[in-house]
Amino acid sequence: MFEDRPDREEVVLVGRSNVGKSTLMRELTGHSKFTTGQKPGVTRSPNHFDWVSENFMFTDLPGFGFMSGVEEEHREQIKTDLVRYIESNADDVLAAVLVVDGKSVIDIIDRHSGPDEIPHDVELFHFLWDLEVPTIVAVNKMDKVDDRDERLDDLCDRLGLHPPWKQWRETIAPISAKRGDIDALNEALRTQFHEQKRDDLLKFVS
Ligand SMILES: Nc1nc2c(ncn2[C@@H]2O[C@H](COP(=O)(O)OP(=O)(O)OP(=O)(O)O)[C@@H](O)[C@H]2O)c(=O)[nH]1
Ligand SMILES: [Mg+2]
């Protein structure tokens, strides 16, 4: 998972399998080389899309969580590798985009919340927070969500951010990657780049 990593600053896309990371990668880079699919587990190793002259890249990381046909042991390995990738490169990560499926994320979080279980998405969010990696939650597939504000407020609540979600526009970005509607994410990334004095990168997210 680490061998071919170019030495650049980066924005990483992380999240459960099948939430639309690779579809979002296509939108962000304007390139269709990223394989997407209806079955979870399409992306198996990091995909970098880099600009040498700007010392910058977008990285699409493998999804974690349930994947049919993939052994439990292998799924755990993907998660371990993902955590190690972010830990070892945290200094170079300008922002992490935690992609979730707006239609199912609340159900999945609630199903896995218990006395000795923390849902993956929540765990990852706190992990990134603890590493002080600026994190944006891209709530994807909003084209399938009817009760938009309610859903986004619930998500804030589960992540430990005080609703209403509209107070968290730098953190919560509702999008529909498949429809090419990613303005909210671009806006949040612009804010991050500006704060980190990387205004030269604004052209990649406008
Ligand atoms: N309705 C809807 N479907 C979407 C959207 N974005 C992606 N999808 C669909 O979701 C499925 C999974 O998309 P991928 O981009 O392959 O997901 P991924 O997160 O890269 O999946 P892994 O590589 O398995 O981790 C595909 O069928 C996409 O067409 C969206 O905004 N709305
Ligand atoms: Mg993928």
Tokens read off for 19? 């939430």
Give the confidence band of 53 by pLDDT, cuts at 50, 70, 90: very high
Mean pLDDT of 176-192: 97
| Confidence check on the interface: ipTM exceeds 0.95, yes or no | yes
Closest atom of ligand 1 to 40 CA is 24
Q: Say yes or no: CB of residue 29 within 6 Å of ligand 1.
A: no
Can you list the domains of the chain with their CATH numbers? Answer: 9-201 (3.40.50.300)
- Percentage above 70 pLDDT, the chain: 95
List C-alpha distances in Å: 70 to 1, 17, 41, 74: 17, 12, 8, 7
Alpha-carbon dihedral angle through residues 153, 155, 160, 161, given to the nearest 10 degrees: -40
- Residue holding tokens 């992306």? 43
Give the confidence band of 1 by pLDDT, cuts at 50, 70, 90: low
**Residue 183 CB-half CA count within 13 A:** 1
Closest atom of ligand 1 to 15 CA is 19
* Ligand 2 centroid from CA 80, angstroms: 17
The pTM is what? 0.94
